[in-house]
Each structure stands twice: as structure tokens, then as C-alpha cells.
Structure 1
Amino acid sequence: MPTAIPLGAPIWADANTPDLARDLDFYMRLFKWSSFDTGEEFGHYTELCLGSTVSVARAVGGLAPNPPGDANALSAWGVAFHVADCFQAAADAEKLGATMVSHPVRVGDDLVYAAMKDPDGGAFGLFEPMSEHVGFTAFDEPGAAVWFEYVYDGAPVEAMQFYSELLNWSLKVPESDDPPHDDAPYVELWTHETHLLTSATVEFGGARMALGPEVKMQPHWLVCFGTDSVDLTAAKAVDYGGRVAVAPVDDPGGRMAVLVSPTGAHFTIMSSKKQGNEG
């Protein structure tokens, strides 16, 4: 297998953008990312990395310029999940009630990708790696993705049944004596990791009921990036042309805030995350 990322786990995150130059300036200043343009052949898809040179760069995500037919679409972050066979997974997803937005397509010699919408309308991707050079190579540290959260105007555990069946996730509802998560129903998301004769479940995210203005939004995945200081990063985001959608607050998983890029993409910043293993 070309990646150590477990099957079913998030393997990539990226955002579309109507203004690549503006977004690059925002994110590179906010997270100290570097960028690498894949060129005209791939629509100037731009990889975002920690590290300033190709030899040391570690990938955290990507930015995709909007296609000419939808040039002014608002920016949005999306999450793709690791599958062994993208064609089979896309077919299975449709049988479970998902909608195929774009059929599986091979991208160079690196991966096969399909864009989907779950039965509740939330967008996600299916990602079959064919090279060890794709997927996250930086994770769970400042400037990289640390957590993934699904926001849904309804019972989270019901929304997650689709993903559980498709991607073999385990769902865990926190015990009654666990700290409340924003006083809203919550379900933890775990995927399975196998090493030789041992196996474990790894927590990578959660799903919660939408709150306040989120109720009017389509169900969606939030990408959560790590930072050493949530408050300072939120203040810098405003200085760099973004805005704060949810002000910094202490959460059971750590301090967090929801930010919005200059072109409209919502994402979360977190000081830490809940993490653990179960045998």
C-alpha cells in the first residue's frame, strides 16, 4: 500500500477558490505554508506544504482554481477519504444513497478520485492513492490538519451511519459523564488501523448537530488545522482579510475557533485535539 494512512481515514483536504492569488496570500501568511503549482496540465492545482523547498516540503492540502464555467463559486474546504478501489467505493456509495458529482478519474500516475455527496447532501471525496507521494505527509501538528468534523442539522449518529457502512468506521457516542461538546449531540469517529498481527481503532474526527447560523448551511465537513495559539491566529486571519465565524472558545478537545477565508471557505483552528487508541 503506497501510504500509511489507514483505509477509511481522511487522506486529503483541499479548497476550490475563485481567486487563487488572494487565497494563497491569506493561507501562506496565516499558517506559514509554502505552495507548489502543478502547472497548466492540472489546471494550476496548487499543493500547500510545511517547508519551503521541494526536498523538505510536507503536504497539508491543496487549492484548486474554480473552473471557467463556475469561476465565481464561493470557496469551500473538502475532505477525501482513503479507499482501496475508487470505482468500487463510488458504486457502493451510490447503493447506500450517495450522489456521484464526478465519476472516478485517474489523475496522472498518482491517484484515482471521485467527488460525491452523501445522502444528506454533504460533499466528500473518495481517494485511491497509487503513489507514495500523495496524501497528507504532515498531520497532527501546528499548520497541518488535526481533526475533521461533520456539521449536520439533525442527529449526528444517523448521518454517520452512511459513512460507517461505506468506510468501515466505528461510531462512539460519548458517555454521559464525559464533558459536553458544545452542549450539542455528538458522535466520535474512529477508523481501523492494522500493523502485522495487531489492530487498533484511531479517532480522527467527530460529527455534531449544527448550531446557530450553521442550521441554515448545507451539511458539511470542517477541516481543523492546528495552531500554537488559537486567539493569535484568529486575530491574524482578520488582519489578512478573513473573518471569525465562531470566536475562540474552550472545547473538550482544546481551544478552537471557526474562521472564514477571504473567498468564503469555513475552516477550524484548534490548539489540540482529542486522540486515542482502543485495542
Structure 2
Amino acid sequence: MLSKTPLGAPIWADANTPDLARDLDFYMRLFKWSSFGTGEEFGDYTELCLGSTVSVARAVGGLAPNPPGNPDAVSAWGVAFHVADCFRAAADAEKLGAQIISHPVRVGDDLVYAALKDPDGGAFGLFEPMSERVGFMAHGEPGSAVWFEYVYDGAPVEAMQFYSELLNWSVKTPEDDEPSHDAPYVGLWTHGHLTGGSVEFGGARMAIGPEVRMKPHWLVCFGTDSVDLTAAKAVDLGGRVAVAPVDDPGGRMAVLVSPTGAHFTIMSSKPMD
């Protein structure tokens, strides 16, 4: 297997942006990330990394300038899941009720990618790595993705049926002795980890408060040593706080919004096994 990421698990996260320079400044100062552009050949796609030089940089995500046909689109983070065959997975997804936004396309010699919407309208990607150089090089630590959460105005177990069939997930409701959640919630597990076990990588929950007015969506959760300090820093950098820091069963968390409108979560690091 080219990637250490289990099949079916999140392998990449990136955001579109109407203002690449503004977003780069925000995220690099917020998380102390460095950036490496790919140039005009790949639409000025920019990789975000922990580490300041190419030799030590470890990728945590990416930023893609909005396409010329939709330059003012509001920024949003998206998640792509690891598949062995992107063409087959996209065809299977369509049979299960998904809408293909962009058919599988080969990106250089590194990967095959397709963009879709699930049957409830939530956007996601399918990502087939063809190189060991792609996908998350850092995760489960401050400054990297530590958790992924689907937010849906309805029963989360129903919304996750599509993903469980497509990506071989297990969808588990909390045990009676586990801490309670503010809204109906299920944990998401994928199989085929290199150690032979399964790994919990995220969850799905019913939308609460202002989220009810939003379309179903995936939230990328980035780790931080201090949720409160990072939230305050985001405001200083031109972002805002959508959900103030609060203690959650998985740790302390907050939902932030970038200067260009992308929602994302910060939380006390919850390692992916």
C-alpha cells in the first residue's frame, strides 16, 4: 500500500479560497504552517505543511484558488477519503445515490481524484494515491488534522449509511457508559489499518443552533495545544468564532471561521491510532 492511511479513512483535506494571499497569511500565522506552491500548471494549488523547509516539511492540507468561472465562491474545507480505485469507487458512489461533481482525473503522477456530493448534499472527495509523497504526512498532533466530523440536520446514523456501504465503515452509537453528547451522535471507524485493527477517525452528529441552516458538511478538526488561545488568535488575524470554546466528550473544542468564510474546528489533540 502506497499510503499509511487506512483504506476508507480521510487521506487529505483542503479548502478553496477566493483570496489565496489572505488565507495563506491567516493559516500560516494561526498554525505556524509553511506553504509550498505548485505553480500555474496545477492552478497555483498550495500545500500547507508543518516544518519550514522542503526536507523536513510534512503535509497537513492544501489551499486551492477559486476557478476563474467562480472566483467569488465562499471558502470551504473539504475532506477526501482513501480508495484503492478512484474510478470504481466513483461509479459505486453514483449507484448509491451520490452526485459526481468532477469525474476521476489523474493529477500528475501522484494521485487520481474525484469530487462528489453524498445523497444528502454533503461534499466529499475520493483520493487514490499513486505515490508515497501524497496524503497526510502529519496527523494527530497540534497543527494537523486530528478528527473529522459530519454535521447533518437529521439522524446521523441514516446519513452515514451511504458512507458505510461505499467505504466499509463501521458506524457505532455511544455506549451507555460513555460521556453524553449534546445532540445525536455516532462514531466512525474504518478497517484495514496497517496494524490489522480498526481505527476511529471521526464522528457524525445532528446539527445544532445555527448549523441547522447550513447544508450537510464535513468539518476538519485541527489539533492545538490551547483551544482558547488559538480561538483568540484567529479573531486577531481576521477570522471569527462560530462556536466558542467548550468541553466536549472528545476534548475541548471550538468552531472557527476563516476571513474568507471557511468553517473548521480546533480541538485538544485527539490522536488517530
TM over 0.5: yes
Q: Does 1:37 align with 2:34?
A: no
Which residue of structure 2 aligns with residue 94 of structure 1?
94
RMSD over equivalenced CA pairs, Å: 1.0
Does structure 1 conserve the Cα–Cα contact (< 8 Å) formed by 2:37 and 2:46? yes
The separation in 2 between residues aligned to 1:171 and 1:255, in whole angstroms, is 23
Q: CA deviation at 1:177?
A: 2.5
The separation in 2 between residues aligned to 1:274 and 1:151, in whole angstroms, is 21
Q: CA deviation at 1:194?
A: 4.2
Residue pairs, 1:94-243, within 5 angstroms: 94-181=94-181, 183-195=182-194, 199-243=196-240
TM-score by length of 1: 0.96
Does structure 1 conserve the Cα–Cα contact (< 8 Å) formed by 2:5 and 2:193? no
Counterpart amino acid of 2:148?
F
The separation in 2 between residues aligned to 1:232 and 1:169, in whole angstroms, is 35
Q: Does 1:247 align with 2:247?
A: no
The separation in 2 between residues aligned to 1:237 and 1:108, in whole angstroms, is 35
Does structure 1 conserve the Cα–Cα contact (< 8 Å) formed by 2:60 and 2:139? yes
Counterpart amino acid of 2:19?
D
Q: Does 1:263 align with 2:257?
A: no
The separation in 1 between residues aligned to 2:36 and 2:132, in whole angstroms, is 18
Residues 34-56 of structure 1: per-residue CA shift (max 9 Å, x gap):
00000000000000000000000
Does structure 2 conserve the Cα–Cα contact (< 8 Å) formed by 1:111 and 1:130? yes
Number of residues of Structure 1 aligned to a counterpart in Structure 2: 273
Does structure 2 conserve the Cα–Cα contact (< 8 Å) formed by 1:253 and 1:272? no
The separation in 1 between residues aligned to 2:28 and 2:176, in whole angstroms, is 41
For the residue of structure 2 that corresponds to 1:47, the secondary structure is: strand
For the residue of structure 2 that corresponds to 1:68, the secondary structure is: coil
Q: 1:275 to 1:60 in 2, by over 3 A?
A: closer
For the residue of structure 1 that corresponds to 2:115, the secondary structure is: strand
Does structure 2 conserve the Cα–Cα contact (< 8 Å) formed by 1:253 and 1:274? no
For the residue of structure 2 that corresponds to 1:205, the secondary structure is: strand
Q: CA deviation at 1:2?
A: 1.0
Q: CA deviation at 1:275?
A: 5.8
Residues 112-171 of structure 1: per-residue CA shift (max 9 Å, x gap):
000000000000000000000000000000000000000000000000000000000011
Does structure 2 conserve the Cα–Cα contact (< 8 Å) formed by 1:179 and 1:252? yes
Does structure 1 conserve the Cα–Cα contact (< 8 Å) formed by 2:47 and 2:62? yes
The separation in 2 between residues aligned to 1:249 and 1:272, in whole angstroms, is 14
The separation in 2 between residues aligned to 1:140 and 1:194, in whole angstroms, is 15
Which residue of structure 2 aligns with residue 52 of structure 1?
52
For the residue of structure 1 that corresponds to 2:136, the secondary structure is: coil
Counterpart amino acid of 2:131?
S
Q: 1:31 to 1:123 in 2, by over 3 A?
A: same
Does structure 1 conserve the Cα–Cα contact (< 8 Å) formed by 2:33 and 2:49? yes
For the residue of structure 2 that corresponds to 1:199, the secondary structure is: coil
Which residue of structure 1 aligns with residue 25 of structure 2?
25
The separation in 1 between residues aligned to 2:134 and 2:8, in whole angstroms, is 16
Structure 1: stretches of 5+ with no match in the other structure: none
TM-score by length of 2: 0.98
Does structure 1 conserve the Cα–Cα contact (< 8 Å) formed by 2:81 and 2:126? yes
